[in-house]
Structure 1
Amino acid sequence: MESVALLVILVIALSLFFDFTNGFHDTANAMATPIATGALKPKVAVGIAAGLNLVGAFLSTEVSKTISHGIINEDVITPTEFLPVIFAGLIGAITWNMLTWLLGLPSSSSHALFGGLIGATIVGVGVMAINFGTVISKIILPAVISPLTAGIIAFAATRLAYALTRRADSKADGRDGFRFGQIFTSSLVALAHGTNDAQKTMGVITLTLIMAGWQSPDQTSPYTWVIFACAFTIALGTYMGGWRIIRTLGKGLTDVKPAQGFSAETATAATILSSSALGFALSTTQVASGSVIGSGLGRRGAKVRWGMVGRITVGWVLTLPAAGAVGAIAAVMVHLFGGWGILIDAVVAVILIVAMFVRSNRNAVTAANAMSEVAESGRAVKVKRNPPPTRRQRRLEAAAEEARRAEEAAKAARAEAAAPDAGKDPVSSVSNNRDEKGGDRA
């Protein structure tokens, strides 16, 4: 019994650490764009995101129920065999989160968690313990549909934004007002992030308590202390900034105009809030990226680099199986060595995390230099420095050219009327005059 209690405490601590990494890993989804466009200062932006993540974590528990009462078939598992599996799955998720953070790669923390849990469960218990119906309906399908949905909404919103502000086409800063709008929309994305991502850790802890017999399986909602712990932890992680990924999204994936940023953030918030209400555990990173691509397609003159989009998509596809593989390896260690395997996993995980943190200090990215240079990932949406004129601009230029030609023609006509003989040959005129005089003499 003491060993079970110790393992439960260890799993809860590891879950909260994953929640922390989720916070600084996904801060960029909400705040990279307003930081890049100058709508918010870096530290102010992450402070707002942290506060709204905290608030959002209390608004819904539907995603938590999906994790605790959906993915895993608790009826075919005993607590003594599944608690180590949850531990191994968290090892896989945290390792992938830290690696992608070191690389500045905007991957999905959600899919890292799902992959780690699924891989560890298959190795530690068996395939029959996975509820594949729930995995497909509430994880796989949202992962495919949500970026497309957000992209379509962002495309339409961008077109509408530019159509309503056509009078600003000829002004270089005519749409700077959208920067003020970004303060609201980016805050809404941060709030939506709290309603979705914080719930996933709540679900893991609730599942752990149920398997340990510390919570009734009939109680689908997490305990109040679990909600508070997860909310404050993800808020703390968000406040830490995650500047590497902010640099990638702000100077790479989301290097867009303020009107585009406003539209993309609106689409992201709408998609995440709708999915949270339905209990879909989607990836906020994928939604945010899909919105940016949609806004790039919606603005005339903006160019989407599909090669970069393809590489980011490959990263999304690899997240779930990669985290699953690490979780499976950790589960194998537990299966082979029991309690010693848990200790080995913990020691190896600590060594890897410390090594990646030390490695990150060699080229540290902070609030001071996050936007000082373009991230190595390049730009997925590239805006031309001299974009082609819009249709309205072309119509105005054609009208101005027609008016100019009409004015020139009118001037020529007036000049011709004032001097009718100006174009005649002087010699011919003199000869004609002499002939006329000679004729008179005759």
Structure 2
Amino acid sequence: MEHITLLIGIVIVTALVFDFTNGFHDTANAMATTISTGALGPRIAVAMSAVLNLVGAFLSVEVAKTISGGIIDEDAGVRPEVIFAGLVGAILWNLLTWLAGLPSSSSHALFGGLIGATLVSVGMDGVNSDKIVMKVLIPAVAAPIVAGVAALVATRLTYRLARGRDPQDTAKGYRAGQIASAALVSLAHGTNDAQKTMGVITLALITGGVIAPDSDPPLWVIVSAGLAIALGTYLGGWRIIRTMGKGITDIQPPQGFAAQTGAATVILASSHIGFALSTTQVCSGSVMGAGVGRKGGVVRWSTAGRMVLAWVLTLPAAGLVAGGAALLADQGDWGVTAVAVLAVAACAGIWAASRRKPVDHTNVNDIDEAAALPAEPVGVVTAALQSVAPPPARAATASSSATPAGASAATGSTS
């Protein structure tokens, strides 16, 4: 086997940078509802999520195999430059959606980047279309729907089982359940998303002749990918946490518990099968399902619509950027250098833009007045669901709000 060249080293570092952005981009998946309901403090929540992401990275390599020997044909002439260009496209899309506070899919950004760069440099022969359909596109459509329906049913069942119980007692129990379910989501996230970077690095090592084709990720790859995503998770993607925790619906502890449990189940099942699905789409679908599952709950469909639009654009947008980067990187060493310089400049510009209105652990539960107003028109979906399960009577609402302690326990909100 050959030694690691400078170019492969650059690809490995870039892959770990993507893994880092994946970590802070997807922290909201596990911890947004837990933070928004006050079940855990923001700093404690992201620290716990980071540790469990690291642990989850060691539990399986099935998704890594899907990346390294699945969607891209490693024998079709794919070179390290192509992988580098694909990673640049994924990183830039991750940062742009983070700046906008949109929980888009880091996974699909990676897939789109790799596919776009491969199409430009190698052509259709370098892409396994059937595996893209079976292991990327179908799960992308099905997973958020399945998770949303599961969360809706679980939320309805949860409130039914708690009927007649003291709201203060149930709120405490559900907060404890939220912590446990958030831990499970973090563990599941590590088993799925950390492996994607492992797969990319393994693919780079295979195309560079460092390891044999069809090899499993080496131990040092598993460790470095796990540490990178854990560090990114600990820093916290506060903008996206704000959107998922406060911008989609007003989450109460029972809803948070139902949403996180449903999401963790879907993610763990997909990791076992080897489906490289989007954990962001699964968790967002669960939050929306939990929102419509509570009687009187209102989902802000305008925010949900922007999220879905970002999901649709992720694959082509990341692919377009990666395709341009691949076209430049194919020109030789100067092209690779130019791509690296342009990528660093773009990342610096996005970071500078984010400093104009910073969001961190101190203000993550604060939302803009426009988002806070409940006056958004009730959409067709919400109206239909509320006609089946009407909101609680005004008298019950008034009696529950008679004492501040009871109101606080009923809402589970600490903001």
TM-score band, normalised by shorter chain: 0.7 to 0.9
Match of 1:313 in 2: 308
Q: How does 1:36-51 map to 2 (within 5 A)?
A: 36-51=36-51
Question: Cα offset for 1:306?
Answer: 3.1
Q: Which string of whole-angstrom CA distances, capped at 9 and with x for unpartnered residues, describes residues 348-397 of structure 1?
A: 0000111111121111111111112248767999999xx83269x79xxx
Which secondary structure does the structure 2 equivalent of 1:363 belong to? coil
Which residue is 2:208 aligned to? 212
Structure 1 residue corresponding to 2:353, chosen from 359, 367, 374 = 359
Question: TM-score, normalization: structure 1?
Answer: 0.83
2:305 counterpart SS class? helix
Residues 277/347 of structure 1: CA separation in 2 closer, same or farther (3 Å cut): same
Cα distance in 2 for residues equivalent to 1:125 and 1:42: 45
Q: Which among 182, 185, 188 is matched to residue 186 of structure 1?
A: 182
Query: Deviation of residue 227 (structure 1)?
Result: 0.3
Question: What does residue 101 of structure 2 align with?
Answer: 104
Partner of 2:64: 64
1:240 aligns with 2:235: yes
Query: Is residue 295 from structure 1 mapped to residue 290 from structure 2 by the alignment?
Result: yes
Equivalent residue number for residue 117 of structure 2:
120
Within-5 A mapping of 1:187-202: 187-202=183-198
Q: Cα–Cα, structure 1 residues 213 and 3, in superposed 2: closer, same or farther, change >3 Å?
A: closer
Report SS of the residue matched to 1:70. Answer: helix
Q: Distance in 2 between matches of 1:321 and 1:248?
A: 23
How far apart, in 2, do the equivalents of 1:277 and 1:69 lie? Answer: 17
Matched, 1:162 2:149: no
Aligned to 2:340: 346
* Alpha-carbon distance in 2 for matches of 1:214, 1:255: 51
Q: Which 5+ residue runs of structure 1 have no aligned equivalent?
A: 395-442
| Alignment RMSD | 2.5
Match of residue 171, structure 2, among 166, 170, 175:
175
Instruction: Assess, with a 3 A threshold, how the Cα gap between structure 1 residues 378 and 197 changes in structure 2: closer, same or farther.
Output: farther
Letter in 2 for 1:84: E
Tell me the percent identity: 57
1:340 maps to amino acid: W
| Alpha carbons of structure 1 residues 188 and 296: separation in structure 2 relative to 1, 3 Å | same
Does 2:51 match 1:89? no
Q: Kindly name which structure, 1 or 2, has the bigger radius of gyration based on alpha carbons.
A: 1
Q: CA, structure 1 residues 378+86, in 2 after alignment: closer, same or farther (shift >3 Å)?
A: farther
- What's the counterpart of residue 373 of structure 1? 367
Q: Distance in 2 between matches of 1:91 and 1:62?
A: 24
Deviations 1:317-376 (A, max 9, x none): 0011000000001011123x3211111100000001111111211111111111122487
Aligned residues: 386
Q: Equivalents in 2 of 1:375, 1:227: separation in Å?
A: 43
Q: Which residue of 1 aligns with 2:276?
A: 281
| Offset of residue 112 of structure 1 | 0.3
Whether the 8 Å contact between 1:248 and 1:377 is mirrored in structure 2 is no
Unaligned segments of structure 2, at least 5 residues: 384-389, 398-415
2:9 alignment partner in structure 1 = 9
Residue 389 in structure 1 maps to residue 355 in structure 2:
no
Question: How far did residue 172 of structure 1 move?
Answer: 7.3
Residue 135 of structure 2 corresponds to which residue in structure 1? 138
